[in-house]
C-alpha cells in the first residue's frame, strides 16, 4: 500500500509543486483584482485547493495520453503510467476522483463559476492531444493554465469582465514563455517521435521568442492594472521582469539543464507579480 501511494504521488507530481504554483499565482492575482483586495478565506481556500486538485488530475490525463511518446523521452520514460507501474484505467480513475473533488469545491461558489469550470475542463482535456496536431500546443496550455482568471472574476462578481480577458491574454504569453523553455529541454527527443512543440516550431528563434513572450506578459498586465500609478505593483512586476531577464542567460545556450532550471524557477516570476498585485491594494 505504501508503494502504491508513493506511485500515486509520483503520478500527480506531488514532489514538484512548481506546476500548481504556476497555476495558482495568476489565479490569486485575479481574485485580488476582482475583489479589490483580500478576497476572503473561503475563496482563497477553494481556489488554492481547486488549483492543486485540477493540476493533479491533469497530470493523470496527460500521462495516459502521452504514455506511448513518453517512453522515448529521457526525462519522462520512468513515469508511473509510461513504465507500466500504474495502469491506464487506474490513472484515469484517480484523475476523475480528483476532478470530482475539485468540482465539489466549485459547487460552493456562484453558479457562474460552475459554468466556466466546464469550459476550463474542456480545454484541459484537449491539451494533451493538441501536441499531435497544433504547431504551438503551448498556446492551448496557456489557455488552460489561465482559466483560473475568468473563474476568479465570476466567483467574486458573477461576471467575467473585459479586464479578466485582458489578464488572461497576458498570462497566456507568460505560459508560452515558460512552456517553450520546458519544450526546449525535450526538443531532440520530440523531433524523433514527431511531437509538435513551440520549441520545434520556433527553431532558431526560440530564445528571442521566449523573451518576447515575457515582455508581452509584463506589458499587458502593467497597462491593464495601471501599474504606473501603483508603485508596489510596479515593483512586483519589475522584480518578475528581472527574473525573466536572468532566464535569458539560462536558456541562451539551449542546454537541457539551463532550460529546465529556467522553467522550474518560473513560479517565482508569478509569485513576484502576485505580491505586487496584493500589496497594491493595501
Per-residue three-class SS string for 4-39: HHHHHHHHCCCCCCHHHHHHHHHHHHHHHHHHCCCC
Residue-by-residue pLDDT tens, the chain, 282 positions: 788 889 889 999 888 888 899 999 999 999 999 999 999 999 999 999 999 999 999 999 888 987 877 777 777 778 888 888 889 999 999 999 999 999 999 999 999 999 899 888 888 888 888 877 888 888 988 888 899 999 999 999 999 999 999 999 999 999 999 999 999 998 888 888 878 889 999 999 999 999 999 999 999 999 999 999 999 999 999 999 999 999 999 999 999 999 999 999 999 999 999 999 999 998
* CA dist., res. 250 & res. 207, Å (int): 10
Q: What domain range is 266 assigned to?
A: 2-279
Contact 152, 34 (CB under 8 A): yes
* Structural domain count of the chain: 1
**CATH number where 24 lies:** 1.10.357.140
The pTM for the full model equals 0.92
What is the per-residue pLDDT for 2?
81
Q: Which residue has the cell 505560459?
A: 175
What is the per-residue pLDDT for 240?
97
What is the per-residue pLDDT for 147?
93
In sequence order, the 6+-apart residues with CB closer than 8 A to the CB of 188 are none
* CA dist., res. 212 & res. 202, Å (int): 12
Local structure of residue 131 (DSSP, 8 states): T
Burial class (CB in 10 A: 0-12, 13-18, 19+), 161: middle
Amino acid at each position: 500500500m505504501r508503494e502504491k501511494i508513493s506511485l500515486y504521488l509520483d503520478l500527480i507530481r506531488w514532489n514538484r509543486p512548481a506546476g500548481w504554483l504556476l497555476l495558482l499565482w495568476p489565479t490569486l492575482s485575479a481574485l485580488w483584482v476582482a475583489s479589490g483586495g483580500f478576497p476572503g478565506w473561503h475563496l482563497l481556500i477553494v481556489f488554492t485547493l481547486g488549483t492543486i486538485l485540477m493540476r493533479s488530475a491533469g497530470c493523470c490525463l496527460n500521462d495516459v495520453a502521452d504514455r506511448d511518446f513518453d517512453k522515448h523521452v529521457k526525462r519522462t520514460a520512468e513515469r508511473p503510467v509510461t513504465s507500466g507501474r500504474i495502469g491506464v484505467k487506474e490513472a484515469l480513475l484517480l484523475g476523475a476522483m480528483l476532478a470530482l473533488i475539485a468540482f465539489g469545491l466549485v459547487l460552493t461558489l456562484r453558479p457562474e463559476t460552475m459554468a466556466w469550470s466546464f469550459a476550463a475542463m474542456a480545454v484541459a482535456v484537449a491539451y494533451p492531444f493538441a501536441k499531435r496536431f497544433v504547431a504551438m500546443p503551448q498556446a492551448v496550455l496557456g489557455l488552460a493554465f489561465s482559466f483560473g482568471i475568468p473563474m476568479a472574476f465570476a466567483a467574486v462578481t458573477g461576471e467575467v469582465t473585459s479586464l479578466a480577458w485582458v489578464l488572461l491574454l497576458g498570462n497566456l504569453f507568460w505560459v508560452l514563455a515558460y512552456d517553450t523553455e520546458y519544450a526546449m529541454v525535450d526538443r531532440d527527443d520530440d523531433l524523433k517521435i514527431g511531437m509538435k512543440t513551440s520549441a520545434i516550431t520556433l527553431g532558431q528563434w526560440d530564445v528571442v521568442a521566449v523573451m518576447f513572450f515575457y515582455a508581452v506578459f509584463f506589458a499587458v498586465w502593467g497597462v491593464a492594472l495601471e501599474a504606473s500609478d501603483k508603485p508596489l505593483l510596479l515593483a512586483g512586476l519589475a522584480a518578475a521582469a528581472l527574473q525573466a531577464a536572468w532566464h535569458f542567460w539560462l536558456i541562451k545556450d539551449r542546454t537541457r539543464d539551463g532550460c529546465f532550471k529556467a522553467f522550474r524557477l518560473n513560479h517565482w516570476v508569478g509569485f513576484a507579480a502576485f505580491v505586487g498585485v496584493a500589496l497594491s491594494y493595501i
